[in-house]
């Protein structure tokens, strides 16, 4: 697959002494040659053919000068920086393909797990006489996946996160009432928005995340996305927690698209 674009680093271009010493005509012609070289893999080695490629009445003197910016390779002349960029993009495409398969498998497993009843731990032994407190259960195991929430469903013990009688709260009250403690997933997402780890979530936001049931891969992807430096005019990341939770699949797509673009550039 041929990539349609390469990254143009304005700072590198302006700080290059060789570019700074070019005339405006040479600089413009050089950019055209870079575009041709990226598109076709190389440019001709003969000054006459280079001049024809530049077009617009370019002279062989101009072509000879600009040929020094390239090196022999392929069927003519190649550009070392562009070749390095091609290799980097190929590596990224291979990683993206592998990551896509892994993500698809994770989604498949998550979908299947939704259709399976939650595993309920047995009552604590030796602490409750004759099992008098049937609501006291062991904390759902998270040893295999510490970032995932316990499954939502009847019988799952939520007492360690949600406040008492949370089911009696109205929808509006759920947006105000805070949880007892943040889960590791909630703490990780707090960092996306530079919130303190101990900034407690609302019940409403917690229940939204419970339904999403994010995977560690999703948390890692969005963590890197929200930590990345993006120009303000190009920054389309969600600005607060409710927006993120309401648009979770779309934000994952944005994060994948962002890293695909930056790595291919």
Q: Give the integer Cα–Cα distance in Å for 157 and 140.
A: 7
At 152, list the tokens.
Answer: 């939502």
Closest CA to 263 of 142, 99, 72, 125: 99
Measured between alpha carbons, how far is 118 from 140 in angstroms, rounded to an integer?
A: 10
- Rounded Cα gap, residues 206 and 200, in angstroms: 10
Neighbours of 216 (CB within 10 A): 14
Structure tokens at 20: 């700074």
pTM equals: 0.43
| pLDDT tens, position by position, 140-171 | 333 344 444 443 433 344 556 888 888 889 99
Angle at 228 between CA 226 and CA 229, to 5 degrees: 120
Q: Are strands 76-78 and 71-73 parallel, antiparallel or unpaired?
A: antiparallel
Write the pLDDT tens digit of every residue in 57-69: 999 999 999 999 9
State how far the Cα of 139 lies from the Cα of 124, in Å rounded to an integer.
Answer: 10
Segment 174-223, tens digit of pLDDT: 999 999 888 888 999 999 999 888 899 999 999 999 899 899 999 999 99
């Amino acid at each position: 697959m041929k990539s349609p674009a390469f990254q143009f680093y304005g700072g590198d271009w302006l700080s290059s002494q060789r570019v700074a010493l070019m005339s405006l005509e040479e600089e413009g012609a050089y950019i055209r040659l870079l575009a041709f070289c990226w598109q076709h893999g190389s440019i001709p080695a003969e000054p006459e053919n280079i001049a024809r490629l530049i077009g617009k009445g370019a002279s062989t003197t101009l072509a000879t000068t600009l040929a020094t910016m390239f090196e022999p390779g392929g069927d003519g002349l190649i550009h070392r920086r562009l070749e390095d960029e091609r290799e980097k993009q190929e590596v990224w495409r291979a990683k993206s393909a592998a990551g896509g398969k892994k993500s698809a498998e994770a989604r498949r497993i998550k979908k299947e797990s939704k259709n399976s009843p939650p595993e309920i731990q047995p009552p604590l032994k030796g602490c409750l006489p004759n099992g008098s407190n049937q609501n006291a259960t062991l904390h759902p195991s998270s040893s295999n996946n510490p970032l995932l929430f316990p499954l939502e469903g009847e019988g799952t013990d939520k007492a360690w996160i949600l406040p008492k009688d949370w089911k009696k709260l109205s929808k509006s009250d759920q947006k105000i009432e805070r949880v007892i403690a943040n889960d590791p997933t909630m703490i990780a997402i707090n960092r996306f928005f530079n919130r303190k780890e101990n900034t407690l979530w609302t019940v409403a936001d917690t229940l939204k995340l419970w339904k999403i049931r994010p995977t560690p891969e999703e948390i890692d992807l969005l963590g890197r996305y929200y930590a990345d430096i993006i120009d303000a005019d190009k920054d389309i990341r969600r600005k607060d927690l409710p927006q993120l939770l309401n648009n979770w699949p779309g934000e994952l797509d944005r994060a994948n698209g962002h890293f695909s673009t930056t790595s291919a550039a």
